[in-house]
């Protein structure tokens, strides 16, 4: 085999703080310094985003160059000599941080980001002490947008690094946030400065994950949940999403990718919840309903030749994706599965089936969910989500908020024993666990649908359907030929089921635009709003980057492999709820409680 050396990049040699290093051509000074484990502080820089170079905190000194270049933006050059800790550099960085603080509402002890604020960390490192510059905060007419049920935007804490703007534009292709005005009037704003809930914001929370200060935070409901727990007249039920159990440890000092399911359950019980249940139960239920819905649509299209059937069918469990399609592709709302998300299915069943089984009055039951997602807060407050006769999910907490509650309770998380979910809506399968990663819903659905149609297990080793396992930063297409079907499914004989998996709304936009333009022909689409799926959700522990998300993904699949049951239709509690309460998939009771429709929204 001939080696063309096309993939071998030219090496650039330079010296940083007296140490020689070689890096690939095109690398930045910051990347070269990190190769030597030399720390250069940053604020506007983020691994997931394009380089901006506008905060200047990462300035370094280059010999024979008068100005101080930004390490995050300056490419290396041959023979370059860099100093990262000279007096000139240290004074420049300190003054930059001081200037940022002069316009920053630095009431740190009351800030939600206290302790994890990057600006606070830099100020502490640099011993800023007495301010060198005038406090300009009183001169600014800062606004705080608190109208949204999911995200709070506080301009008084914004340092205008534009991470949020780049996140919204590059990763999500939403552009709900942008830069307005110039000079000292410059600010991060929305379309005509409307509140977030009035614009195209999908509430995905990716901006919150990357904001270095408290300018963007989730609306927290910690106090309301404590009040419910302490109220002896209330029965408080909590559900936990699959992506929480592989990330919660990070919020409590553990390394990324640790599976903490048992300790999480133990912590929730010690916090005082009356019943600790699992969203994975309704993830399995979602697969039964959604799988049957897909088969129903395929039958109408292929056998009945119904021209009105909406294909491809798209998943509907990601609330950020739902709001995105309502704004951007409202003509395809009919293509969404009518299934509610597992969170909302769970809430509806808590106020009906669970209350019936436990002989409880639904008005005295408080339904709490722990989610990796800020958009789930918005979803729980949708008017469509009250099919039980009550608000189906009363409060949504993020993984971060649960971490705070555990700390508030004084629990030593790592020393807690492994405990199990309570019964009645607490049992689940490996298929439900993989809902937490991109491609997981697709894989779980195929595990069940293929077996329903053929009577055989999907022919992949260990049930691992790797062709549909999504990869962060790309659109994954796959097809599955269906052969030797049962007689009642004869219309599917020889059909090649065409699927596509996308994560991040920028990729969702590409997929839907291709469908709209007639460039793509799919049967089944899975969309997750966040990079990597729910494991990269806007409510997950901070910081976030691709390496952290990869470790979470590995933990998800490890948890799946360790489950005794790995197909949704084999969950005994799911089988029981159909027998005792729901009747049959897509039946009257299911449509009443587990299905919904969504509303077209304007972009502006």
How confident is the model over 408-440, as pLDDT tens digits? 999 999 999 999 999 999 999 999 999 999 999
- How many C-beta atoms surround the C-beta of residue 100 within 10 A? 23
pLDDT of the residue at 128: 67
Alpha carbon distance 513, 507 (integer Å): 10
- Type and span of the H or E element at 478: strand 476-481
The pLDDT assigned to 488 comes to: 95
pLDDT number for residue 140: 82
**pLDDT tens digits for 314-359?**
999 999 999 999 999 999 999 999 999 999 999 999 999 999 999 9
- The structure's pTM equals 0.95
Cα atoms found within 13 Å of the Cα of residue 286, Cβ hemisphere only: 34
> What's the pLDDT tens digit per position in 158-167?
999 999 999 9
List the one residue out of 148, 119, 136, 73 whose CA is nearest residue 211. 119
pLDDT of res. 130 = 72
Q: Give the dihedral of Cα atoms 546, 551, 552, 556; nearest 10 deg.
A: 130
Half-sphere exposure of 179 (CA within 13 A, CB side): 14
Structural domains of the chain sorted by starting position, each given as residue range(s) with its CATH number in brackets = 13-85 (3.10.20.740), 110-117+131-218 (3.30.70.20), 222-281+343-415 (3.40.50.1780), 297-337+428-537+556-594 (3.40.950.10)
Whole-number pLDDT of residue 3: 46
CA 201 to chain centre: 15
pLDDT at 6: 57
Report the pLDDT value the prediction gives residue 5, as an integer from 0 to 100. Answer: 53
Structure tokens at 447: 């595990």
Which residue shows structure tokens 């790309």?
Answer: 474
Q: Which residues belong to the active site? A: 290, 293, 317, 337, 376, 379, 384, 534
Q: Encoding tokens for residue 577?
A: 């709820």
Query: Burial letters for 293-327: b for 16+ Cβ neighbours within 10 Å, e otherwise?
Result: bbbebbbbbeeeeeeebbbbbbbbbbbbbbbbbbb
- The predicted pLDDT at position 137 comes to 83
Q: What are residue 196's phi and psi, to 5 degrees?
A: -55, -35
Q: Look at the block and give the residue holding tokens 């635009």.
A: 513
The answer to whether 283 and 411 have CB atoms below 8 angstroms apart is no
What's the pLDDT at 2?
Answer: 45
Distance CA 340, CA 383 (A): 13
Geometric angle at alpha carbon 248, from 242 and 253, rounded to 5°: 160
**411 Cβ neighbours under 8 A, 6+ residues apart:** 267, 270, 271
Q: What is the mean pLDDT of each run of 10 residues along the chain (604 residues)?
A: 60 96 96 97 96 95 96 97 96 94 91 94 83 80 92 95 97 96 90 94 97 97 98 98 98 97 98 98 98 97 94 97 98 97 98 97 98 98 96 98 98 97 95 97 97 96 93 90 95 96 97 96 97 97 96 97 96 97 97 96 86
């Amino acid at each position: 085999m001939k080696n063309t050396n096309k993939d071998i990049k030219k090496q650039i040699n330079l010296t940083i703080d007296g140490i020689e290093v070689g890096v690939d051509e095109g690398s930045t000074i910051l990347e070269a310094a990190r190769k030597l484990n030399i720390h250069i502080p940053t604020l506007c820089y983020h691994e997931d985003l394009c380089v901006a170079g506008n905060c200047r905190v990462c300035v370094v000194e280059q010999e024979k160059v008068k100005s101080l270049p930004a390490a995050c933006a300056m490419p290396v050059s041959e023979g370059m000599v860099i100093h990262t800790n000279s007096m000139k550099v240290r004074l420049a960085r300190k003054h930059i941080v001081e200037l940022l603080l002069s316009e920053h509402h630095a009431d740190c002890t009351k800030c939600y980001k206290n302790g994890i604020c990057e600006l606070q960390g830099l100020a502490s490192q640099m011993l800023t002490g007495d301010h060198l510059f005038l406090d300009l905060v009183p001169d600014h007419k800062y606004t705080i947008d608190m109208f949204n049920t999911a995200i709070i935007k506080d301009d008084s804490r914004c340092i205008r690094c534009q991470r949020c703007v780049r996140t919204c534009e590059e990763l999500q292709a939403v552009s709900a946030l942008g830069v307005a005005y110039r000079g000292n009037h410059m600010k991060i704003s929305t379309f005509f400065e409307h509140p977030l809930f009035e614009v195209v914001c999908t509430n995905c929370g990716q901006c919150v994950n990357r904001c270095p200060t408290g300018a963007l935070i989730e609306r927290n409901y910690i106090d309301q949940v404590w009040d419910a727990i302490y109220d002896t007249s209330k029965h408080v039920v909590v559900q936990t999403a699959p992506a929480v159990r592989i990330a919660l440890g990070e919020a409590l000092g553990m390394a990324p990718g640790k599976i903490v399911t048992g300790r999480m359950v133990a912590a929730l019980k010690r916090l005082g919840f009356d019943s600790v249940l699992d969203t994975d139960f309704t993830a399995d239920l979602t697969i039964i309903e959604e799988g049957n819905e897909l088969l129903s649509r395929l039958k109408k299209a292929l056998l009945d030749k119904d021209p009105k059937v909406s294909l491809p069918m798209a998943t509907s469990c990601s609330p950020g994706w739902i709001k995105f399609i309502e704004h951007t592709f409202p003509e395809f709302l009919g293509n969404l599965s009518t299934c509610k998300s597992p969170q909302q299915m769970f809430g509806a069943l808590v106020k009906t089936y669970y209350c019936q089984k436990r002989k409880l009055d639904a008005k005295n039951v408080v339904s709490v969910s722990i989610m990796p997602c800020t958009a789930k807060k918005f979803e729980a407050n949708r008017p469509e989500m009250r099919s039980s006769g009550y608000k189906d999910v009363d409060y949504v907490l993020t993984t971060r908020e649960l971490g705070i509650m555990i700390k508030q309770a004084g629990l030593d998380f790592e020393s807690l024993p492994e405990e199990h979910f309570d019964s009645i809506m607490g049992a689940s399968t490996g298929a439900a666990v993989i809902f937490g990663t991109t491609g997981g819903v697709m894989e779980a659905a195929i595990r069940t649908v293929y077996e329903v149609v053929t009577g055989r297990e999907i022919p992949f080793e260990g049930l691992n359907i790797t062709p549909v396992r999504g990869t962060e930063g790309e659109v994954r297409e796959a097809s599955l030929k269906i052969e030797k079907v049962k007689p009642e499914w004869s219309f599917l004989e020889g059909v090649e089921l065409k699927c596509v998996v996308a994560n991040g709304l920028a990729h969702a936009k590409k997929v839907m635009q291709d469908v709209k333009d007639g460039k793509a022909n799919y049967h089944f689409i899975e969309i997750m709003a966040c990079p990597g799926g729910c494991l990269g959700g806007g409510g997950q522990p901070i910081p976030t980057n691709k390496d952290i998300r990869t470790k979470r993904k590995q933990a998800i699949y490890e948890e799946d492999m360790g489950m005794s049951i790995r197909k949704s239709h084999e969950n005994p509690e799911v089988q029981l709820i159909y027998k005792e309460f729901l009747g049959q998939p897509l039946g009257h009771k299911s449509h009443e409680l587990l299905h919904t429709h969504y509303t077209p929204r304007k972009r502006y």
